[in-house]
Amino acid sequence: MSNVYNVAVVVGSLRKASINRKVALALADLAPANLKLTIVEIADLPLYNEDIDGASPPAAYSTFRQQVSSSDAVLFVTPEYNRSIPAPLKNAIDVGSRPYGQSAWSGKPGAVISVSPGAVGGFGANHHLRQCTVFLDIPMMQQPEAYLGGAGSAFDEAGQLSESVRPFLQKFIDAYGKWVEQHKKV
Class of CATH domain 5-183: alpha beta
pLDDT of residue 1: 44
pLDDT of residue 69: 98
CA distance 173 to 150: 19
CA distance 162 to 130: 27
Residue extents of the structural domains in the chain: 5-183
pLDDT of residue 118: 87
* Encoded amino acid at 37, one letter: L
CA distance 182 to 158: 37
Torsion sign across C-alpha atoms 79, 83, 85, 87? negative
Return phi, psi of residue 109, to 5°: -60, 130
Low-confidence ranges of the chain (pLDDT < 50): 1
Residue 26 region by backbone torsions, left for phi larger than 0, else alpha for psi between -120 and 50, else beta: alpha
Identify any residues that bridge with 11 across adjacent strands, giving them in sequence order.
77
Closest CA to 79 of 143, 18, 16, 157: 18
